[in-house]
Amino acid sequence: MAGEAPEALTQAVVLLGGAVLAAPVFKKIGLGTVLGYLSAGILLGPLLGIVQDGEDILHFAELGIVFLLFIVGLEMKPSRLWAMRRDIFGLGSLQVISCGLVLSFLAWLFIAPNGRMALVAGFGLALSSTAFALQLLESRKEVNTTYGQKTFSVLLFQDLAIIPLLAVLPLLSVYIGSTGADWNAFLIGVGAIATVVLAGRYLLNPLLGIIARTGAHEAMIATALLVVIGSATLMQAAGLSMALGSFLAGVLLAESSYKHELEANIEPFRGILLGLFFMAVGLSLDVDVLLSNWLSIIICVFVAMAVKALLIYGSSRLFDANHPDGVRTAAMLCQHGEFGFVLFASAASIGILDAQTSSFLIAIVVLSMAFTPACVWLGGFLLENDDEEHDMEEDFEGAQSPVLMIGFSRMGQVTSQALLASGTDVTVIDNNPNMIKQAAHFGFRIYFGNGCRKDVLISAGIRQASMVCVMTHTPEITNQIIDLVAKEFPDKPIYARAYDRAHTLQLMDKPVKFHTRETFESALVIGAEMLRGLGRTSEEAEDLIKEVRKLDENRLKVQYHEGIYAGSDMYHSRPVQPEPLVNPTHPAEALDDRSRELVEEDHAKDNSDVAEKTSPAN
């Protein structure tokens, strides 16, 4: 009927409204946006009954997890994994396995009626909240502490562990009603994985290069979506997890020059769909189960968090953490996380968990996340009188580069040499695919990205960088980038390449710490060498160059106030010839034959000039 909005559109508006209201409020009070989305879903679905199709929305919103794992894969550089390998694969695996087995045993005793359900429950509760823990670490400025790095390593392994956990679910599901192995399904799965690996290795980078050369930004966004959703769909068609496909695609592109551009294009979709996923989890909760089992749920929350904290503390001490770092790591990771929602929802969708048990476990996760700030406070309270030091440590492997260079021009290439020679790493982004390809032949690593976009700068690590260096070719683009950085990241000092004198005058009006024309200093170097070639001493040449530089600086100051055509009197437009202070009283006298010839020629020339000026024709 005309004038009535479709039901799906109405529900979309309601969900967006709930997200817009709940997420900022919960973040403001320190509970995080994840709990905000969950609470909005519970309110709109089970409590008020405004949105009814929670299960259908959940299936669609799982794309948020697909995008999240793609971005996790993009961060999985082999070099980074190798540097943190002991804490990631040692401490991380010990935490997941120990917590998973102990919690599975407890779940088998008190919650789950069979072993398969107990394993899903135990390992789902063994995972912590990456979003929640990292948010707390960043707000407390403790990411680069010793315990912050151990916490990050465990979270990183958990992000990796969700892949095999999700991949095992279909096998458990097949086992429920099967008596033998399905080798055809196994071979199809292996073929799908091989297809994604080969495509990522040999097709994706050339495809991205072709799209980038067109300069069509919307085509790059479509390509990013195609890569993620295409790899996920292929895995799903092979009977495997969609998340596995997107993660593999991300890992294969982790060393790509287009990494930051892909991450920036995917991030908005990931954020929206991930928020929708958490809301859909809230929509799917069975309120009757919660109300009838509220005491059991609260007891399970405290028991599971206490057991998890003890096991994480013990694992940390085994991997050389001192007592304070062990306590802080345990307090930060004792909650259950968003990947538990993913595991429980996936297990319920294929029949491993029933709806009642799934709602029971999801309620445990939600309450544990709500208690996390209190747990972190409790950990700090227990350590108030502890005398062991809690020092910051630098972590160059895990951090982004201290210098972000935008544009790999000729000047940028030379400038980067000084930085690299000092041992300073540089992250370079450029939007010219040909430049990226040529630089790769010389061993340079450049990321493809548009420096005029805030999201690309964030993906490239501008928040972690100590300074920004703008080396683009075009004055207008340089100015645009400088204005963006100054507005959005005012604490970052900017060093810039000026195209010419007119551009230098423009940069004098901008918050740039240092700028210089690309040809000025090199021209002075050539001028000094030419002076030496003409017989001047090095001291004379240096003095003359200093004079030229000083005059240029003074002229720039005048031009800044009066315009580019001012200060012309400061140019050296002709050779400087010394002139006597007093006119000679006697005419010049020739001392040899050659001198006499020259004097006679000068006299003849002077007489000719006088005759020409006094002739009637003039």
pLDDT in tens, 113-129: 788 888 888 999 999 88
Residues 46-85: tens digit of each pLDDT: 778 787 766 667 667 777 777 877 877 776 665 666 767 7
Q: What is the dihedral of CA 157, 159, 160, 161, to 10 degrees?
A: 80
Does pTM surpass 0.85? no
**Integer Cα distance of 143 and 136 in angstroms:** 9
The SS3 assignment for 6 reads coil
| Confidence at residue 181, expressed as pLDDT on a 0 to 100 scale | 44
- Angle, CA of 360, 361 and 366, to the nearest 5°: 100
Residue 547 pLDDT > 60: yes
Residues 6+ apart with CB under 8 A from 607: none
Cβ neighbors of 331 (< 8 A, separation 6 or more) are 309, 375, 376, 378, 379, 380
What distance in Å separates the CA atoms of residue 93 and residue 266, rounded to the nearest whole number? 29
Residue 538 confidence (pLDDT) above 60: yes
Q: Give the residue-averaged pLDDT of 499-518.
A: 87
Element (H, E) at 446: strand 446-448
CA distance 395 to 464: 12
Sign of torsion over alpha carbons 269, 272, 277, 278:
positive
Place of tokens 């306590």: 327
Strand partners, 589: none
Cα–Cα dist 313/331, whole Å: 9
| Residue whose structure tokens are 């969609």 | 242
Categorize the per-residue pLDDT at 468 as very low, low, confident or very high, splitting at 50, 70 and 90: very high
Q: What single string gives the DSSP state of each residue in 80-103? A: HHHHTHIIIIIIHHHHHHHHHHHH
**What's the confidence (pLDDT) of residue 416?**
84
The residue length of the chain stands at 618
pLDDT at 76: 66
pLDDT at 364 over 60: yes
Cα angle 297, 300, 303 (rounded to 5 degrees) comes to: 155
Per the structure block, which two tokens stand in for 464? 């972690």
- Across the chain, what does the average pLDDT equal? 77
Nearest to 251 by CA among 262, 265, 240: 262
* Structure tokens belonging to residue 292: 């009838």
255-283 pLDDT, tens per residue? 777 777 777 888 787 778 778 877 877 77
pLDDT tens across 172-185, in order? 665 544 444 456 66
Q: Are strands 514-517 and 446-448 parallel, antiparallel or unpaired?
A: unpaired
Per-residue pLDDT at 343: 85
Q: pLDDT per residue over 181-201, tens digit each?
A: 456 666 777 787 788 888 877
Is residue 253's pLDDT more than 70? yes
| pLDDT for the residue 351 | 78
Banded pLDDT at 602 (limits 50, 70, 90): low
d(CA 312, CA 387): 22
Name the maximum alpha-carbon separation found in the chain: 127
* pLDDT bracket for residue 135 (50, 70, 90): low
- Segments in 284-293 forming alpha helices (H): 287-292
Task: Answer yes or no: are the C-beta atoms of 243 and 291 closer than 8 Å.
Answer: no
Distance CA 554, CA 556 (A): 5
Q: In the block, which residue shows the tokens 């979506």?
A: 225
